[in-house]
Amino acid sequence: MIARIVITFLLSLLFAGAASSAGITGSDRKNQPIQIKSNSLSTDANQTAVFTGKVSARQGDITIYCDRLLVFYSAKEKGIDKVEAFGDVRIIQGNRRAQSGHAVYEQNGGRIILDDNPRLYQEGSEVTGKVITYYFDTQRSEVTSDPEKRVTVIIHPKQKGKDGSASP
């Protein structure tokens, strides 16, 4: 029970804390433009774009870096349906970051799924597991494991200053 609370708290801080402090909510972020930079871009008639080489994608306060990014467009909704990142995936939001070998962001589902050795970091603390899923709209998270890759949480307490208050 305590482990679940700690994991939920850490993941909530990782993905939602900077957004709320900046006044950006999940629905606000969906309405902001996405800027993608890469070494090359190819598109096809199937509503798909493939960005390769030093890819960076930014929307609001979240930036994703990776080797290859696939963007799937929804013909019905005239927008982005899903984004899939491959190779050295790093997601940065304020002082929080996540990394994995693969990630899928589903716009309509309001979730991001990290797999292939996923890790979350914030202020020296770390969460790892086999698959990490975060739901932006409900600020709920799930970290799953299997017999070879158990969920691990490392929490570093904040250092206290001379007056007993937490140091920045």
pLDDT at 38: 97
Q: Taking a C-beta distance cutoff of 8 angstroms, is the pair 105, 81 a contact?
A: no
Q: pTM for the whole thing?
A: 0.74
pLDDT at 107: 81
Instruction: Give the residue carrying structure tokens 């606000």.
Output: 28
pLDDT single digits (tens) 119-165: 998 888 899 999 999 887 777 889 999 888 789 999 987 776 566 55
pLDDT at 76: 76
| pLDDT at position 9 | 38
47 Cβ contact partners less than 8 Å away, ≥ 6 residues apart: 72, 73, 74, 75
User: pLDDT for 34-55, tens place per residue?
Assistant: 899 999 999 987 789 999 999 9
Amino acid 41: pLDDT? 95
Beta strand 140-144 with 131-135: parallel, antiparallel or unpaired?
antiparallel
Distance in angstroms (rounded) separating the CA atoms of residues 93 and 97? 6
Phi and psi of 129, rounded to 5°?
Answer: -175, -170
**pLDDT computed for residue 16 by the predictor:** 44
User: What average pLDDT does the segment 61-77 reach?
Assistant: 88
Domain architecture of the chain: domains with CATH: 2-154 (2.60.450.10)
For the cut 90, the answer to whether the pLDDT of residue 30 exceeds it is no
Task: Evaluate whether 151 touches 144 at the Cβ level (below 8 Å).
Answer: yes
Q: 108-111: list long-range contacts, CB under 8 Å, 24+ apart.
A: 108/74, 108/77, 108/81, 109/135, 110/26, 110/135, 110/136, 110/137, 110/138, 111/135, 111/136
